[in-house]
């Protein structure tokens, strides 16, 4: 039995914001039922019991959405109590939540602190950039509310990190965003390229991130980060951390940088279980909590085919000097051949541009960090 990661969507695709680039709204539209309902405590207990039965060593519960706080604070209080009820001495439990932080208050922050939740906050840099793509359901700007929530998280000493969705405009504004994060002391950051709708040609959305924009972003961000590192200041930037870990003999922890998929056990509001947050689709449903055991879902034909197909390595990648670092990126970004087989990542030229111009400095950064350890 392995360590288990369960990604739970207690509010399904429901959200109090209306982000222009929301990939999950698009994924939900590709299902027979867009909104799967709010996850009941009865089903949540079955999730917990099933995961704890299957887990060995560790079990992590990550809550996402939609907006997961819409399930209500009492729901999460009950979750913690149910985990304690089903706890095992040989399984360490951890909690995390990814939130838009639009309406956090003292009670939420106190709960996160007391139960050691790691909180991911979605914040796309300064006000004008953040508000451009992250309004609420009425079109109202959300930046000030999110910043107030962050101050509360700090006041209650809650561990949090910042997630920035990388659009074309955000990529072109990398210096402003990085300096904004530095100014506010945000030391744990991740940038994730925006996803365009399934079955739609890339480049048709206003927020599109082009290959050239991404390649330039990677170089400019690294230069800002590396200058700080040389001056003794370290900021955790997730994709850089993963590349540095590989160079230092470790393994990447980010799913999209491992070179293949894993089963994430994504639980929707109706108890349906799927292999990946990007593929919560009817045809990839692994089973239902309370009916199907986690072990059986992990070894089901759908799960095994999902995993197996992700291990395909194009010949161009096998011959590429940078493949040990790139690993062909996330499956969702891999282009598809005429035979339906995923091939090179859409961002291959961007990654080659970065590694060809900054690999030596990245190796030097790894050496600096090795001395610090």
Catalytic residue numbers, as ranges: 277
- CB neighbours of residue 126 within 10 Å: 17
Q: Spell out the long-range contacts of 236-239 with Cβ–Cβ below 8 A and sequence spacing 24 or more.
A: 236/161, 236/187, 236/188, 236/189, 237/189, 237/190, 237/191, 238/189, 238/190, 238/191, 239/190, 239/191
Distance CA 193, CA 254 (A): 14
Q: Do the strands 287-288 and 272-274 form a parallel or antiparallel pair, or are they unpaired?
A: antiparallel
Distance CA 366, CA 246 (A): 9
Give CA separation, 341 vs 71, 233, 316, 344, in Å: 38, 43, 14, 10
> Both tokens of residue 298?
């992990």
Residues 6+ apart with CB under 8 A from 23: 194, 195, 197, 278
Nearest to 73 by CA among 111, 121, 113, 117: 111
> Both tokens of residue 238?
């997730």
Contact 335/342 with Cβ under 8 angstroms?
yes
């Amino acid at each position: 039995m392995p360590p288990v990661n369960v990604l739970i969507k207690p509010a399904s695709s429901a959200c109090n914001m209306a982000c222009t680039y929301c990939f999950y709204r698009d994924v939900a539209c590709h299902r027979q039922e867009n909104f799967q309902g709010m996850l009941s405590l009865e089903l949540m207990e079955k999730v917990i019991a099933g995961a704890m039965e299957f887990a060995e060593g560790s079990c992590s519960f990550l809550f996402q959405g939609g907006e997961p706080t819409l399930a209500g604070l009492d729901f999460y209080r009950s979750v913690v109590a149910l985990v304690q009820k089903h706890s095992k001495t040989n399984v360490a439990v951890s909690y995390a939540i990814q939130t838009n932080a639009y309406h956090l208050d003292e009670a939420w922050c106190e709960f996160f602190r007391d139960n050691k939740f790691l909180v991911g906050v979605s914040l796309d840099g300064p006000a004008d950039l953040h508000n451009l793509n992250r309004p609420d359901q009425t079109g109202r700007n959300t930046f000030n509310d999110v910043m107030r929530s962050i101050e509360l998280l700090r006041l209650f000493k809650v561990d949090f990190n910042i997630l920035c969705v990388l659009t074309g405009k955000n990529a072109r504004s990398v210096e402003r965003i990085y300096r904004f994060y530095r100014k506010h002391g945000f030391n744990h950051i991740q940038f994730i390229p925006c996803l365009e709708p399934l079955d739609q040609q890339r480049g048709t959305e206003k927020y599109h991130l082009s290959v050239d924009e991404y390649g330039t972003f990677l170089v400019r961000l690294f230069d800002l980060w590396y200058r700080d590192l040389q001056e003794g200041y370290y900021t955790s930037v997730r994709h850089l951390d993963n590349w540095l870990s590989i160079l230092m003999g470790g393994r990447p922890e980010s799913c999209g940088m491992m070179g293949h998929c894993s089963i994430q056990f994504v639980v929707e509001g109706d108890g349906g279980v799927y292999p990946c947050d990007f593929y919560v689709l009817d045809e990839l449903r692994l089973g239902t909590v309370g009916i199907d055991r986690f072990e059986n879902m992990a070894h089901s034909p759908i799960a095994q085919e999902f995993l197996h197909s992700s291990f395909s390595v194009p010949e161009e990648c096998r011959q590429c000097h940078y493949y040990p670092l790139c690993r062909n990126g996330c499956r969702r970004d891999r282009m598809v051949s005429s035979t339906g087989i995923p091939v090179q990542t859409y961002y291959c030229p961007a990654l080659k541009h970065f590694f060809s111009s900054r690999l030596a400095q990245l190796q030097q950064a790894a050496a600096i960090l090795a001395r610090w350890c």
